[in-house]
């Protein structure tokens, strides 16, 4: 006679730990909207414990979910309505340590388009980009080797080349359409990012402090976390 175990149905596909965290995050959001703050704190603590149990060091969540962005950082878990600023921030968080030109960050925007000739020719732009990559690697080595004098020299040259390249570099490596195009994009991106950071600060002072010290805006934007404190974002 077959055993009962042979007749047991196959279990349904179990949700992943990330899916469980996101579902509980939505629950925290709902409890807070109902002013059930104690219950929300208890559920947030469960989310934190689940997050701490995942493999890897310093894993956090910054995931788009429909019209919202699910955010988990340390003991803070919350959702925000998606905005351009959060989308820009997600691009930066996904590429730690990488310089992103503001026109690449904001993407194609007809309101920023205008006509002008190239400021730098193709060969010059290519040479600038190659040297900038070399200097960035050399600067990192100098900082790790605790060689401040070499780091200062490389940083000065790096900033000079970036300023020159920013005069001619544009979206996707093409020439900049005009001086005002990059400036308008810089202003728009800075405003959107500041708005996103202000919204995050109302929910997570810890994440606000982290981003305030690691996110750089300007013609080139960058997310620059401390390499000695590994942090990985899930999107």
Q: 107-116, 129-138, 173-182, 192-201 — which is least confidently predicted?
A: 107-116
Considering only residues 194 and 41, tell me which one the structure prediction assigns the higher pLDDT.
Answer: 194
Closest CA to 224 of 207, 211, 205: 211
Considering only residues 5 and 145, tell me which one the structure prediction assigns the higher pLDDT.
Answer: 145
CA atoms of 235 and 226, how far apart (whole Å): 20
CA atoms of 31 and 48, how far apart (whole Å): 16
98-109 pLDDT, tens per residue?
Answer: 889 888 898 755
Angle (CA) 32-33-34 rounded to 5° is: 85
Q: 49-63, 135-149, 213-227 — which is least confidently predicted?
A: 49-63
Domain boundaries defined on the chain: 15-119+167-234
Q: Of the ranges 2-6, 38-42, 169-173, which is most confident?
A: 38-42
pTM: 0.56
Q: Of all residues in the chain, what percent carry a pLDDT higher than 70? A: 68
Task: Give 45-100 as a DSSP string.
Answer: HHHHHHHHTSSSSSEEEEEEETTEEEEEETTEEEEEE--HHHHHHHHHHTSTT--E
Range 196-212 average pLDDT: 91
């Amino acid at each position: 006679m077959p055993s009962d175990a042979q007749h047991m149905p196959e279990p349904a596909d179990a949700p992943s730990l990330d899916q469980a965290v996101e579902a509980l995050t939505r629950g925290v959001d709902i409890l807070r909207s109902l002013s059930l703050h104690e219950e929300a704190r208890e559920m947030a603590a469960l989310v934190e414990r689940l997050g701490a149990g995942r493999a890897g060091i310093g894993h956090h969540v910054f995931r788009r979910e429909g019209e919202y962005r699910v955010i988990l950082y340390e003991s803070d878990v919350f959702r925000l309505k998606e905005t351009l600023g959060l989308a820009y921030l997600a691009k930066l968080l996904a590429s730690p340590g990488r310089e992103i030109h503001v026109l690449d960050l904001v993407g194609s925007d007809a309101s920023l388009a205008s006509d002008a000739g190239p400021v730098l020719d193709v060969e010059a732009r290519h040479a600038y980009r190659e040297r900038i990559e070399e200097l960035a690697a050399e600067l990192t080595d100098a900082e790790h080797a605790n060689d401040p004098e070499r780091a200062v020299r490389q940083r000065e040259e790096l900033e000079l080349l970036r300023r020159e390249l920013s005069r001619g570099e544009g979206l996707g490596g093409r020439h900049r359409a005009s001086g005002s195009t990059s400036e308008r994009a810089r202003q728009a991106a800075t405003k959107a990012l500041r708005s996103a950071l202000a919204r995050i600060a109302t929910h997570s002072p810890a994440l606000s402090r982290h981003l305030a010290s690691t996110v750089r805006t300007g013609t080139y934007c960058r997310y620059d976390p401390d390499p000695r404190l590994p942090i990985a974002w899930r999107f």
